[in-house]
């Protein structure tokens, strides 16, 4: 016989998992970086899954919450969290509570341990809502002048020098065949090694993007050929968060970029198709 309590628990609506972006630097004021709708949704939450409780509390204090900080529930999810901890992290959502997922910087679940919780939430039929906020990847791509029609993100490169060089050549080959921008990030203390390796192994004609401290006071964005990088002063990269990208010269027979006459933005104003809710422009991230 089925227990009535179990039936009531099964019928209880689940909460919503909100993906809450954070500023790209600890010194940024969330109220100046995040839109009002994101701050309003954040302020109503009283349960969070975070990478680091200490830095999360500092962010929440600056952003503002309806509940006192000491009354907020904070559970950590990082590279040290075992897989069998996911049911515990999902428990508040299963009980009907809304939960906010925070990254240390930028958008949760992108190059971020929170991706495992998002996957588990979908598997459990829990609603997932991404909130609007800064993404270093999209900011870098927007400002790069590289191919924004076709691009890929490869996360972190190998730490070993030989494997790193091999991976960069692979990304360059993929870019040349597919006319595809390749983006990656690196641990700040290895930025210089990655930059030097790129200059050593990439073709002179390949365009290389280096974007650091995006949206912060020391922001720097430069995109030029490897040839030009080799004769230019090196960028200041020591211990700074950075995004790298490359676009190789297209190989014969590779994918062609969308022709200008196929791009709706290139049509004369009188010939553009009218906007409708069913033809929403390209998604953000």
Q: 28 with 103, same domain?
A: yes
The pLDDT score that the predictor gives to residue 53 is 95
If you average pLDDT over residues 239-258, what whole number do you get?
A: 80
CA–CA separation, 102 vs 104, rounded Å? 7
Expressed as residue numbers, the domain containing 148 is: 136-247
Terminal-residue alpha carbon distance, the chain: 48
Q: What is the pLDDT of residue 13?
A: 87
> Domain with 120 in it: what CATH number?
3.40.1010.10
pLDDT at position 259: 42
What pLDDT band is residue 6 in, cutting at 50, 70 and 90?
very low
Residue 4 located in a structural domain? no
Cβ atoms of 102 and 59 within 8 Å: the answer is: yes
Residue 274 domain-assigned (yes or no): no
DSSP 8-state code for residue 259: P
89-104 pLDDT, tens digit per residue, is 999 999 999 999 999 9
Q: CB neighbours (10 Å) of residue 84?
A: 7
pTM for the full predicted model: 0.82
Write down the pLDDT at residue 239.
85
Tell me the β-bridge partners of 225: 207
Please state the domain count of the chain: 2
Mean pLDDT of 209-229: 96
The predicted pLDDT at position 11 comes to: 57
Q: What is the CATH number of the domain that holds 237?
A: 3.30.950.10
At 256 the pLDDT is 52
**Does residue 269 register a pLDDT over 80?**
no
In a domain, 264, yes or no: no
Same domain, 83 and 40: yes
Count Cα neighbours of 131 within 13 Å in the Cβ-side half-sphere.
27
Give the pLDDT confidence score for residue 193 in this predicted structure.
Answer: 96
**Average pLDDT of the residues in 214-241:** 94
What's the mean pLDDT in 268-276? 44
Listed residues 112, 130, 148: the one ending a domain: 130
Query: Is residue 256 one of the residues assigned to a domain?
Result: no
Q: What is the pLDDT of residue 167?
A: 98
What is the average per-residue pLDDT within 123-143?
97
pLDDT surpasses 60 at 266? no
Residue 5 in any domain: the answer is: no
* Span 105-134, average pLDDT: 96
């Amino acid at each position: 016989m089925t227990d009535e309590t179990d039936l009531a628990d099964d019928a209880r609506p689940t909460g919503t998992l909100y993906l809450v972006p954070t500023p790209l630097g600890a010194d940024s004021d969330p109220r100046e970086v995040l839109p009002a709708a994101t701050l309003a949704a954040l302020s109503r939450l009283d349960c969070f899954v975070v990478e680091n409780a200490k830095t999360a509390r500092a962010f929440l204090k600056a952003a503002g919450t309806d509940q006192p900080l000491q009354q907020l529930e904070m559970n950590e999810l990082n590279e040290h969290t075992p897989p069998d901890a996911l049911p515990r992290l999902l428990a508040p959502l299963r009980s009907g509570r809304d939960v906010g997922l925070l990254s240390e910087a930028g958008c949760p679940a992108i190059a971020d341990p929170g991706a495992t919780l998002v996957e588990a939430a979908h598997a459990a039929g829990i609603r997932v809502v991404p909130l609007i906020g800064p993404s270093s990847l999209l900011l870098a791509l927007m400002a790069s002048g590289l191919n924004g029609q076709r691009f890929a993100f490869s996360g972190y490169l190998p730490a070993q020098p030989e494997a790193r060089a091999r991976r960069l050549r692979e990304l360059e080959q993929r870019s040349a065949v597919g006319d595809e921008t390749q983006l990656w990030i690196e641990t700040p203390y290895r930025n210089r090694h990655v930059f030097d390796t790129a200059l050593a192994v990439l073709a002179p004609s390949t365009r290389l993007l280096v974007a650091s401290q995006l949206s912060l006071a020391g922001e720097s964005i430069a995109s030029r050929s490897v040839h030009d990088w080799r004769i230019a002063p090196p960028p200041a990269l020591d211990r700074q968060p950075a995004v790298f990208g490359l676009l190789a010269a297209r190989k014969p027979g590779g994918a062609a970029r969308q022709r200008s006459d196929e791009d709706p933005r290139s049509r004369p104003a009188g010939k553009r198709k009218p906007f409708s809710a069913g033809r929403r422009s390209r998604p953000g991230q």
